[in-house]
Amino acid sequence: MSIPILNYSFSTQNQRVDGFEYLPGEEQPKIYTTDNLPTSVEMDEIIWACYRQIFSEHQILHSTSDPFLESQLRFNQIKVKDFIKSLVLSSAFRNLNYDVNNNYRFVELCIQRILGRDIYNEREKLAFSVIIGSKGLECFIDILLDSDEYAENFGDNTVPYQRRRIIAQRSKGETPFNLKTPRMSQDFLAKEDMPQLLWPGAVRQFRPFDQKPKAGDPALFLSMVLDLSPVV
């Protein structure tokens, strides 16, 4: 028997902020869409925007590109939504995001990149994690792409983007999702027992250059090797 999805409330500040259409300015994102019959140059930008949104700039590699899908999109054989779905379900995306994280972190990444927003609360993260565990990865992606939220904001022809960056009573908006480097979660690193490049605690031994390390301090050897500061 499958576990039913949990109910959760919309408790984020973002839902009480006017959209970009009412608050034009530097925070307004550039919309990439195929609605207006783009030129070849504009299509290159649309394809790049898809890769940047799904893989983030930190993960755009030669192995993440798919020339066949790009060709289908250029000749209008598939929609932008289909291209996005293929990228999310690709082995490259799975290897870089799903295999190195737990379900909770993966849910957060997918909601940011597909729906263009952060998670509402921990209960939403838990609810979708249950979907992944009980019905599989593809079912979870279909729920996001076939949701009313995706259809109302992006439809079939618009590349997803971060929809809310202006927060009430803040001088600055949220950091763009693409600037948040995807990393392996700490519990995954501990489980995999990843080898340490330095002895435990040595990385946290860095200090200002005007403060000399004491004799016997691991940072003394590290500063000599890396030439971080003159050693007297």
68-88 per-position pLDDT tens digit:
999 999 999 999 999 999 999
Are residues 130 and 183 part of one domain?
yes
Are residues 164 and 217 part of one domain?
no
Would you say 70 and 47 are in contact if contact means Cβ atoms under 8 Å apart? yes
Q: Binning pLDDT at 50, 70 and 90, where does residue 127 land?
A: very high
Average pLDDT of the segment spanning 4-8 = 55
Instruction: Please tell me the total count of domains within the chain.
Output: 2
Structural domain that includes position 134: 13-188
In a domain, 7, yes or no: no
Distance, CA of 177 to CA of 194 (rounded, Å): 26
Are residues 204 and 119 part of one domain?
no
Q: What is the pTM of this model?
A: 0.65
Are residues 120 and 36 part of one domain?
yes
Q: Which residues lie below 8 Å from residue 184, measured CB to CB, with a gap of 6+?
A: 100, 101, 192, 194
Where helices occur in 60-195 by DSSP H, the ranges are 67-74, 80-88, 91-93, 103-110, 122-135, 137-145, 148-153, 186-192
Which range, 4-13, 24-33, 37-46, is most confident? Answer: 37-46
Are residues 201 and 184 part of one domain?
no
pLDDT at 161 over 80: yes
Give 21's Cβ-side CA count (13 Å radius). 2
In a domain, 26, yes or no: yes
Are residues 203 and 150 part of one domain?
no
94-104 per-position pLDDT tens digit:
998 999 899 99
Are residues 53 and 166 part of one domain?
yes
